[in-house]
Amino acid sequence: IFLFQHFCAIIHGCHHLQPTVGRQKVGSRVPTGPVSLELLLLVNCIPIKRGINSPCTISFFFFGINFNFLLCFRSRNDVQTCTSWNAPIIWEGMFNPSHYDQIHRNKGSSVALTVFAVGRYLDAYLEAFLNSSEQHFMSSLPVTYYVFTDSPELVPNINLAPNRHLKVIEVERHTRWQDISMMRMKAISDVIESDIRHHATHVFCFDVDQVFTGRFGPEALGDSVALLHAHYYHLPRMLFTYDRNPKSKAFMKTGDFYYHAAVFGGSWKSMKALTEACYRSIIADKENEVEALWHDESHLNRYFWLHKPSRVLSPEYCWDTSIGYRSDIQVYRQAPWFDSRPQKLNCQGRKSDPTA
């Protein structure tokens, strides 16, 4: 009876969460009471109903650590909060930040952030990216930045908080940004093997031409993490820009979602497998004189189609403000870095060459 009362209290709390207007503080609509041992045992022993509009309405938990019990799926009945393979889709209002901060601190989680700043990308974007990440990215956890650049001497000095470090890795500069984008898979795989796996539990990969504008915390961590593309999450699958060329290793007839290559992550083991697989596909295409429609993003989408991500981030984790207002986007956690040069991102959220 005591356990059942705890369970009912949580469900009752989620049921009465009310939507708010505009962008609110993350977690402001989530119950903030302590998570008791009794509740952890309960949700790991019985099936629970996940959410009214969620495609995965029933999920079974067994003994062991499963951080999904911290998510309140019923708090967002305006969006899809779970995939057909039972991976949560993380939206504002589904979680309490302090719970995730505490549980990952206790677990000893640490994060490696990789970012490429080659050519004019370094001067134009890197400093703003790093400064904003110091404010908003995994601020409760140890973080090491891995900056890949062709000009190590030009990497700006950033004031880093305790347990935050920066490592610079020199890479070759390619003529086309498309080649830089695709070859990063090989570079990331190599540094995971030589360095990251010894120091970090998780890896996140970012494009440099964006800034953090809100909390990007441990609620985003998972074994394999993909991001819903802001320009496609509202569209039918027939409009997704998968690579339709059967000659390419990135070829897809259909898929689950359209994922954005500006943000992806996971455990270091999963990220090593992902980057190695994408690199092999890219090299195979090059040998066959084929180039995927959207380069590494096309290969990433195929990989996540074949190897389903365990966690999916909503578009608020990389929202393109040029889209305008959307009622389901209640907080901007990251956004493109728009400068004075016209059309840094085109209408489909695609990059143009900053060296042009």
* Res 319: pLDDT: 96
Average pLDDT, the chain: 81
- pLDDT tens, residue by residue, 259-298: 999 999 999 999 999 999 999 999 999 999 999 999 899 9
Round to whole Å and give the CA distance between 20 and 296: 37
Query: Is residue 48 predicted with pLDDT exceeding 80?
Result: no
Known binder of ligand: residue 273? no
Predicted pLDDT of residue 32: 44
**Domain 106-336 is classified in which CATH homologous superfamily?**
Spore Coat Polysaccharide Biosynthesis Protein SpsA; Chain A (3.90.550.10)
Least confident of 145-154, 166-175, 200-209: 166-175
- 209 marked ligand binding residue: yes
Whether 83 has a pLDDT exceeding 70, the answer reads: yes
Mean pLDDT for the stretch of residues 19-27? 35
Q: Is 297 within any annotated ligand binding site?
A: yes
* Residue 262 labeled ligand binder: no
CA distance 235 to 216: 25
- Residue 353 annotated as part of some ligand binding site: no
Give residue 173's pLDDT band: very low, low, confident or very high (50, 70, 90): confident
At 220, is the secondary structure helix, strand, or coil? helix
Residues forming the active site: 297
Residue 220 labelled as part of a binding site:
no
CB neighbours of 276 closer than 8 A, spacing ≥ 6? 185, 189
Residue where the block lists tokens 């929202």: 319
Confidence of residue 124 (pLDDT cuts 50, 70, 90): very high
The yes-or-no verdict on residue 242 having pLDDT over 60 is: yes
| Residues found in the chain | 356
Domain assignments of the chain as residue spans, ordered by start: 2-90, 106-336
Task: Please tell me the predicted confidence (pLDDT) of residue 28.
Answer: 37
Over 80: is that where the pLDDT of 333 sits?
Answer: yes
Q: Is 213 annotated as a binding residue?
A: no
Going from the C-alpha of 113 to that of each of 1, 28, 40, 76, 199, the distances in angstroms are: 46, 27, 31, 29, 12
Q: Is the pLDDT of residue 109 over 90?
A: yes
pLDDT tens for residues 183-225? Answer: 789 999 999 999 999 999 999 999 999 999 999 999 999 999 9
